[in-house]
A and B are shown apart, each in its own frame.
Chain A
Amino acid sequence: MTTERPDDAQLSAWLDGEVEGSDCARIQAWLQEHPEDAARVRLWAADRDALRARFSSVLDEPMPESLTQTAWRRGVRANRGHWWQGVAAVALLGVGVAIGALWRGGVAREPAVAATQGWTQRAAVAHAVYAPEERHPVEVSVREGDSARQREQEQHLSRWLTRRLAVPVKLFDLRNEGFELVGGRLLPDANGPSAQLMYQDAMGQRVTVYLRKAAQEASAAFRYDRKGDLGMFYWVDGPCGYALVGPQPRERLLALAEAIAKQDPDPAKR
């Protein structure tokens, strides 16, 4: 019987059960008639078994407590994480140094705002890091699934952020201004968690709203700063500090900031 000689890749795939039908029969026939090739495949099989034997004992080892705890830990990303350190920290460092340097000049001149400098900087960095993200711009998306699913996600996002920030977080409706909510994420701030809400217009341009529980700073009116491509309005209203960041012109950002301030969730203000 003469058949075409199967190459090593085909023999190897045959060993792994990846060859079907007539090809499989052809290879079996070949191996029966060619003991040297058959011996080689048997050695591969022996290596495979040796590898399995070498590492299978791991399955019987007791599971380290630390791994079990990781699986059950809440708020993995906010509390600690190689994930953040590995991916975001590198980005934050680079972008943060650049943007922090840009921002410092404008804000630091006004003593009244000095205390807020740190967090507005973080708001700008967070925008620069996440707004360009195509696939993972937000942690919780409110745009996936049908409308019922979206509403459910909106409620979830609002409740979650409110609980974590310990200030009421309302998902501002900016549709009158042409912006749809994309979703939000939790971020680390100096003294606890902060939140970022992301909005997008029909052209795909994004703005982010950074929220944090105000430390001690008194309520403060809108302030504007712009450096490079990004503009920012920031203010403190009751228990919450807000920073609206985006590449839009000042008037556009102001309109958005006013729309947000009008929707202030603090019941004392209504």
Chain B
Amino acid sequence: MQADDVFRHQLLGVIPRLRRYARSLVFDNPAADDLVQTTLERALAHWHQFDQRRDLLVWVLSIAHNAHLDQRRRDARLSVVDPERASADQDARGGAPGVDVGLRIDLVHALARLSPEQREPLLLVSVEQLTYAECAEVLHIPVGTVMSRVSRARASLRQFLDGSDRSAVGGSRGLRRVI
């Protein structure tokens, strides 16, 4: 069954946020867009399972989460984040104007060091600004688990950024505090 045009329009509408989530999850831009591509294809193949009373973004993010899991299992390259390359990409594109380069590098380094189990809920809640209930739906975990993982992710991220774990974070680059 082919997806109808209304659904396709809705899907187009969530692509920017889907890309942002993929980028925050995968860092490497082409790999992130691959994830988006896979997610869109899955969404279109299963569009008739989408309940129109629900939030399409949450549904699509959930598909992206599953696709990302599949990719991590299938392809070790995607599970190994290369922060050097990620920051090089970011620098090549210029990044957001007015933002300190060191800040971005450190943040990505620190984020990359979080386990995927912590990184995903932190990103969904912080960047995508989902509620805990929505986040639980995307990740197929209980709300209480979202709460504890977000909290632990925050603590870990802070620890990495504070440099109490300096040796592994910055390498030769040297660290700058974010705040």
Contacts and interface: CB of A to CB of B under 8 A. Distances in A.
A45 to B, nearest CB: 10
Contacts of B157: 47
Interface string B18-35: 011001100000000110
Contacts of A86: 38, 70, 74
Interface stretch (B40-48, B51-59, B77-85, B167-175): B40-48
A161 B34 CA distance: 30
B179 A72 contact: no
Nearest to B178: A50
Contacts of B104: 54
Interface in A139-187: 139-140, 156-157, 160
Interface in A38-81: 40, 43-44, 46-48, 50-59, 61, 63-64, 66-68, 70-77, 81
A71 B15 contact: yes
B126 A59 contact: no
A77 to B, nearest CB: 5
A72 B178 CA distance: 42
A137 B67 CA distance: 20
A87 B178 CA distance: 41
A190 interface: no
B23 A55 contact: yes
Interface string A213-251: 000000000000000000000000000000000000000
Contacts of A58: 16, 19-20, 23
Chain A's interface size range is 35 or more
B154 interface: yes
Contact of A72 (B8, B41, B111): B8
B37 A67 contact: yes
A134 interface: no
Interface stretch (A11-19, A92-100, A108-116): A11-19
B103 A47 contact: no
Interface centre among B108, B154, B158 (most CB of A within 10 A): B154
B99 interface: yes
Interface of A: 8-9, 11-13, 16, 18, 40, 43-44, 46-48, 50-59, 61, 63-64, 66-68, 70-77, 81-83, 86-87, 136, 139-140, 156-157, 160
5 contacts: A18-B131, A70-B37, A75-B2, A82-B34, A86-B70
Interface of B: 1-2, 8, 11-12, 15-17, 19-20, 23-24, 33-34, 36-38, 40-42, 44-46, 48, 67, 70, 74, 95-96, 99, 103-104, 107-108, 111, 122-123, 125-127, 131-132, 147-148, 150-152, 154-155, 157-158, 161, 178-179
